[in-house]
Amino acid sequence: MDISRLIDPLNEPQRQAVCTDSQHTLVLAGAGSGKTRVLTHRIAYLVETGQASSFGVLAVTFTNKAAKEMRSRIESLMMQPPKGMWVGTFHSLAHRLLKTHYVEAKLPEQFQVLDSDDQLRLVKRIVKDLNLDDTKWQPKSAQWFINGQKDEGKRFKHIPPSSDFHEQGMLKIYEQYELICQQTGVVDFAELLLRAHELWLNNPEVLKHYQERFRHVLVDEYQDINSIQYAWLRVLCGENANLMVVGDDDQSIYGWRGAKVENILRFSEDFPKVETVKLEQNYRSSGHILKAANAVIDNNSGRLGKELWTDDEDGETIRLYAAYNEHDEARFIADDIDGQSDEFNEMAILYRSNAQSRVIEEHLIRMSIPYRIFGGHRFYDRLEIKNAMCYLRMMLNRHDDTAMERIINLPVRGIGNKSIDTMRIFARDQGISFWQAASQIVEHKILPNRACSAIEGFLTLINDIDSQSDEMNLAEITDFIIKQSNLIAHHQKEKGEKGRTRVENLKELVSAAASFINESDNSDLSEFVSQASLDAGDNQADTHEQAVSLMTLHSAKGLEFDRVYLAGLEEQLFPHKMSMDDPDGLQEERRLCYVGITRARKHLCISYAESRRLYGNEQFNASSRFIREIPNEHLQEIRLNSQVSRPVMFTETPKEIMSDSGFQLGQDVNHPVFGRGVILSCEGIGTNARVEVQFIESTKWLMLQFAKLEAV
């Protein structure tokens, strides 16, 4: 069999990963090193050489966009659709599993997925029902608490009682939340993974079937998996599966949402006889950019270790702009963009905090430069679309309380908040769904005639739409529901562009339903609604006209641009003040900087401000340590109408200073007076060198020659 077309396009390390005979393989893939190519060629290689069938391969990634691209590439390499192969996100694969085994998972056949907004709506209702003060037990915090517990694999019954009054309230909310979700047949995103993991554990025959089926498991972005995803994989792989994971410990930046970099760091300990392959050749960035990224990330400890390199030339040095304030910084960036010949789509402005975008937007508007906020409201997140989807959900499940509560008086039909509160209390007291409560209230005339008539009108509307749409396909049902619910007429009442856009979006939903039929050969309403919920949780921006992209550094992961502006590199802002006294947090901030630098292909400009008004306060912060960690030869400072070499303040890098002293940034030290601390930063040369140390009760600048610091 000729597999040269799969092997020849690869470099030597890529070929090693694709053709490996090892049971377990860790592919350390640096930024821009071709990790997706390795994954897709590996899958095609396994099938083409007869080592696996399409039916026996499961490939997991983190976004729907990445999964779609992976499937497309596999199909192109194999020159046929990969029938039977499971390729998708953790959540979509877990959803598919639960749909197939809903009985064993103790779920109704037509269970629905709550997106983040609907989950928050349910939590708010629970906080109110429990008579908790929502200023002390904030629904958003309770939502994060619930999802965090599920990400760790913990249900309410697994959490020991707490003596903390606030946590007691959180546990009550979690307990009631679990009960309502089970009663109404809905699951949230975190529940998908937790329930799928429990399905493995509680049903040995089901687990055995999938362990025997999926002998080859491949995982993308392994550095980003959380505890429950890790547990799900471990159980599925068992002792016999061949597991290949691809990731980069230097790009682990989602610790704040449960990702554990330890999973990739200890992969060789968790699985026997692991082969490690390093992909270090970068096909994206120029030499100066890569060398700067390597220099910054080299200051982190505990790395698996790799060094990015390129066959391309060094290219343009990284430009550094020292702004007077945030307006000067934004003006410089806008002027610089305006003077470039690159297409706007090839430019991006990255920043640590969303709050930084406001001033940048103002200056882009003044210069008439089109831009978009990457990760803004996406199609299925838009208010009018969410409303329409709730009508669709009611067709599938009358007991979907969150959907019904959202639309029972939308468009307005005379059902006020007092009536809704009465239904909510009645449902809670009787232990029944919102729909059942509404029906009984109408039947027994518990509310005034006018309210009962309005509620009855809503119930009749839903039943009539359902019965009249029996013979329609998915697109026809969607169009029929939008029209019969009067959502278009409702939004046409909104004046100006907003109302017009909402109506256009509702019409586009019909097109989305039609496209779903064509792309998936599936006209099932339940599948369409579930896919919409999954898409709403995906962090991908819409594609529009030519525009400069503005985004946080976290949103930039996985993207690349010819020209990148990295704004606001100042101590307290980046690295963020919440991370500066935590060595692990500081290392994640440095990884975030590494990600930001490596988004640039050809041109990178870094800026910082001597003063910045942010969150309503004037701040005077030093330039970021990450700038000081970049060697001199890769930076060129930009002044108005002139260019100068790197300023004197950067003559020595912290790494050089610390090397001479015998200490390292992030190192634990002990002081005879202040006790134990961690080294945050340093400045100065020789006998004048001093270090900033975070102690338990305070932060101190100490002269190294007098400090009497001892390494811990």
- 635-639 and 642-644 beta bridge pairing: antiparallel
Put residue 606 in one of left, alpha, beta given phi > 0 → left and psi -120 to 50 → alpha: beta
Q: Which of 15, 35, 406, 690 is catalytic?
A: 35
How far apart, in whole angstroms, are the C-alpha atoms of residue 331 and residue 333? 5
Reduced 3-state DSSP string for 411-458? CCCCCCHHHHHHHHHHHHHHCCCHHHHHHHHHHCCCCCHHHHHHHHHH
Enter the tokens of residue 305. 């270790």
Q: What is the largest CA-CA distance in the chain?
A: 87
51 is annotated as an active-site residue? no
Buried b (16+ CB within 10 A) or exposed e, 367-391: eebebbbbbeebebbbebbbbbbbb
Reduced 3-state DSSP string for 236-260? HHCCCCEEEEEECHHHCCCHHHCCC
> What sign results for the dihedral spanned by CA atoms 426, 430, 434, 440?
negative
36 is annotated as an active-site residue? yes
Using alpha carbons only, give the angle 239, 241, 244 rounded to the nearest 5 degrees: 120
Torsion angles phi and psi, residue 42, rounded to 5: -65, -45
Nearest of 250, 238, 300 to residue 586 by alpha carbon: 300
Q: Which residues, in sequence order, are CB contacts of 255 under 8 Å at separation 6+?
A: 261, 584, 585, 588
How far apart, in whole angstroms, are the C-alpha atoms of residue 685 and residue 44? 56
Q: Which of 251, 478, 619, 653 is catalytic?
A: 251
- Dihedral angle computed from the Cα positions of residues 78, 79, 83 and 86, in that order, rounded to the nearest 10 degrees: 50
Helices (H), 637-693: 654-661
- 699-703 and 710-711 beta bridge pairing: unpaired
Coil, strand or helix: which one is 604?
strand
Nearest of 242, 236, 243, 244 to residue 209 by alpha carbon: 236
How far apart, in whole angstroms, are the C-alpha atoms of residue 441 and residue 436? 9
Nearest of 548, 227, 226 to residue 370 by alpha carbon: 548
35 is annotated as an active-site residue? yes
Q: Which of 20, 23, 36, 540 is catalytic?
A: 36
221 is annotated as an active-site residue? yes
- Dihedral angle computed from the Cα positions of residues 13, 16, 19 and 21, in that order, rounded to the nearest 10 degrees: -150
Neighbours of 569 (CB within 10 A): 24
Q: Which of 151, 221, 250, 401 is catalytic?
A: 221
Length of the chain: 712
How far apart, in whole angstroms, are the C-alpha atoms of residue 507 and residue 519? 19
Strand partners, 671: 675
Enter the tokens of residue 672. 């005879």
How far apart, in whole angstroms, are the C-alpha atoms of residue 250 and residue 462? 52
Distances (CA, A) of 527 to 392, 396, 688: 11, 11, 67
Following DSSP, what letter does each residue of 93-121 receive, concatenated? HHHHHHHHTTTTTT--TT-EE--HHHHHH
Question: What type of residue sits at position 526?
Answer: S
How far apart, in whole angstroms, are the C-alpha atoms of residue 625 and residue 490? 54
Q: Which of 115, 220, 384, 538 is catalytic?
A: 220
Could you list the active site residues? Answer: 35-36, 220-221, 251, 599
